[in-house]
Amino acid sequence: NAGVTQTPKFRILKIGQSMTLQCAQDMNHNYMYWYRQDPGMGLKLIYYSVGAGITDKGEVPNGYNVSRSTTEDFPLRLELAAPSQTSVYFCASTGTENTEAFFGQGTRLTVV
Amino acid sequence: GNSVTQMEGPVTLSEEAFLTINCTYTATGYPSLFWYVQYPGEGLQLLLKATKADDKGSNKGFEATYRKETTSFHLEKGSVQVSDSAVYFCALSDRSGTDKLIFGTGTRLQVFP
């Protein structure tokens, strides 16, 4: 039972490069989320999705894009990486709003 | 909008001391409330939850009671252990239709022998 799987675990990008952070869950959850966690700070919601084909902005969406073509996958796209996007990124999923959120192990991204 | 406010850390305690981490929230309607814990180098995992007013969530000796009148969900433990050292996040689930999971800033707990 894999839960939520994020790849890669670590990545270093140069300014202006692009990349996609992958997130997959095998629990048939409708709700999926992307958060960023800056050093010593809490989680900030980037984007979320309540089902396949539906996405919405969170608190800090600028510089990111998402898609939700299937229930299982929720990739996060950085188009033009900036140093301000250096952070740890967590993907999470829940079955409903009242149930436990399952988190991936995180992706540590450094933009230089 | 909805928000969660937690006491700032770090909270530093000796083993077997009593722990309180304060959490208050602002939300429309009746959100569900959660405490998550993050151990070093790991993702978050659910510690406990409460889905309606006066509910008490409990797990591993930790407790929190959903207080609608004070919009609070304080985390408590009677006797902490070194292994409880981690970052604790209070969170709410918005039931207004957007279904966003909103987190507080987290409180680092350090327990010394």
**Chain B hits for A33, Cβ within 8 Å:** 100-101
A68-93 pLDDT per residue, tens: 999 999 999 999 999 999 999 999 99
Average pLDDT score over residue span B31-41: 91
Q: Nearest-CA neighbor of B36 among B103, B95, B111, B99?
A: B103
Give the number of A-B residue pairs with CB atoms closer than 8 Å: 61
Asked whether the beta carbons of A80 and A99 are under 8 A apart, the reply is: no
Nearest to B43 among A33, A41, A105 (CB): A105
| Site from A91, A97, A102, A105 to mutate, B interface, most B CB atoms within 10 angstroms | A97
A73 secondary structure, DSSP code: B
For residue B45, the distance in angstroms to the closest alpha carbon of chain A comes to 7
Nearest to A104 among B43, B99, B104 (CB): B43
Res B99 pLDDT > 80: no
Q: What is the pLDDT of residue A97?
A: 59
Res A96 pLDDT > 60: yes
Average pLDDT score over residue span A57-72: 95
| Beta carbons within 8 Å of A37's beta carbon, 6+ residues apart | A43, A44, A87, A88, A89, A90, A106
Average pLDDT score over residue span A5-9: 95
Is A97 close to B43, i.e. CB distance below 8 A?
no
